[in-house]
């Protein structure tokens, strides 16, 4: 179903269900102006998402064969169906840094390096294998890479008279792009800022201090005049951007404080052990009973916070031996 949420230019929201996933849905936005259109993000590479997206597009007279597709970032719920738009008259746009990272994930050794990073932080091998097998972050990605036109900060994509400006906002992923219609003060936020849930911040192999980058770019968001804020998941904006940015920054500060507390009580804990000592919303499940893929996300988030604390000079990483292998552990300074 497509819902009209803005009339000049016409902007529709297609609700793409992400069944079984805590995110619940993807808000796919479609801009129509002067006989042209642009689609922002797609949903998982999964039949249910494909059907919802194609039905929604059909309803508003947009064909995947003649449009522009803007992919904000490499997460499977955004990029999953991008290959369904690989037609001669459709251009697929994606940020340069993000596309390069995605390409290396699909064709290079990046996924293996990410797995190795988890092993090094004490994630048990059996749990890791299970998490990898069931992880929607990788199983619903497109089969392969596809041709894209890459974007950099400030590049513009035109849809009729509407100009979408690409803004480089890494943090949630290595190179997420969000899009701004300056004269209408409309911001397509992707996963940079969500109102009902907190965007996941994780440690990416080869990326320096994601949390620091994320916090910097949350602040940067406040430099833009935004009248209409369009997040990629769940409900539309329900409070001022400034207030939501403040809440998310406070959430991360609180988490940093919790990690310091865990390390005070358990000096030398691994990333995996620290994550187990924090509070997570795991649908009422205790850490030991949580699904392995949720532990995988929780450990990734913990590692981003540990890296941030190291950069801030509050903790230090040391090597220790665990079950015959060397792992990272952490102590307060």
Residues lying near Zn ion in the complex (CB under 5 A) are found at: 75, 191
Residue 9 phi, psi dihedral angles, 5° rounding: -75, 165
Residue number with CB closer to Zn ion (28 or 309) = 28
Distance of alpha carbon 280 from alpha carbon 20, whole angstroms: 18
Give 165's strand partners. Answer: 156, 180
**Distance of closest approach, residue 296 Cβ to Zn ion, in angstroms:** 15
Identity of the residue, 297 or 330, whose beta carbon is nearer to Zn ion in the bound complex = 297
Closest approach of Zn ion to the CB of residue 44, in Å: 12
Q: Looking at beta carbons only, is 22 or 124 nearer to Zn ion?
A: 22
Nearest to Zn ion of 62, 141 (CB atom) = 141
Nearer to Zn ion, 9 or 231 (CB): 231
CA distances to 29, 128, 223 from 66, rounded to whole Å, are 16, 42, 34
Contact 44, 52 (CB under 8 A): no
Q: What's the closest the beta carbon of residue 265 comes to Zn ion, in angstroms?
A: 32
Cβ 311 to Zn ion shortest distance, Å: 23
Write the DSSP symbol of residue 51: H
Instruction: Determine contact, residues 72/166, Cβ cutoff 8 Å.
Output: no
Contact between 205 and 110 (Cβ < 8 Å): yes
Inter-helix orientation angle 110-120/292-311, to 10° = 80
Number of alpha carbons in the 13 Å side-chain half-sphere of residue 87? 12
Q: How far is the CB of 258 from Zn ion (least distance, A)?
A: 23
Identify which of residues 127 and 191 has a Cβ nearer to Zn ion in the complex. 191
Sign, Cα dihedral of 57, 136, 87, 30: positive
CB of 43 to Zn ion, least distance (A): 12
């Amino acid at each position: 179903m497509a819902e009209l949420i803005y009339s000049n230019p016409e902007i529709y929201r297609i609700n793409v269900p992400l069944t079984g996933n805590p995110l619940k849905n993807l808000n796919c936005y479609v801009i129509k102006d002067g006989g042209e259109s642009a689609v922002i993000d797609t949903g998982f590479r999964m039949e249910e998402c494909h059907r919802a997206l194609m039905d929604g597009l059909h309803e508003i007279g947009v064909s995947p064969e003649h449009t522009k597709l803007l992919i904000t970032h490499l997460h499977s719920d955004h990029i999953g169906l991008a290959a369904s738009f690989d037609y001669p008259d459709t251009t697929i746009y994606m940020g340069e840094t993000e596309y390069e990272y995605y390409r290396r994930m699909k064709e290079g050794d990046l996924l293996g390096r990410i797995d190795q990073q988890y092993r090094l932080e004490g994630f048990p091998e059996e749990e890791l294998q299970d998490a990898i097998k069931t992880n929607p972050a990788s199983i619903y990605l497109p089969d392969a890479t596809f041709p894209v036109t890459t974007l950099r900060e400030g590049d513009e994509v035109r849809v009729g008279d509407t100009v979408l400006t690409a803004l480089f906002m890494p943090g949630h992923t290595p190179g997420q792009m969000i899009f701004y219609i300056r004269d209408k003060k409309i911001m397509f936020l992707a996963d940079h800022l969500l109102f009902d849930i907190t965007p996941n911040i994780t440690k990416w192999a080869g990326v320096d201090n994601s949390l620091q980058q994320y916090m910097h770019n949350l602040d940067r968001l406040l430099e833009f005049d935004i009248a209409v804020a369009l997040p990629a998941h769940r409900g539309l904006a329900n409070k001022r951007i400034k207030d939501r940015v403040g809440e998310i920054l406070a959430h991360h500060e609180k988490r940093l404080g919790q990690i310091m507390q865990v390390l005070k009580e358990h000096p030398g804990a691994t990333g995996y052990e620290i994550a187990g000592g924090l509070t997570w919303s795991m649908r009422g499940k205790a850490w030991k009973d949580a699904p392995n893929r949720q532990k995988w996300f929780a450990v990734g988030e913990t590692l981003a916070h540990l890296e941030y604390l190291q950069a801030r000079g509050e903790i230090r990483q040391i090597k220790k031996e665990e079950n015959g292998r060397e792992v990272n552990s952490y102590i307060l300074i």
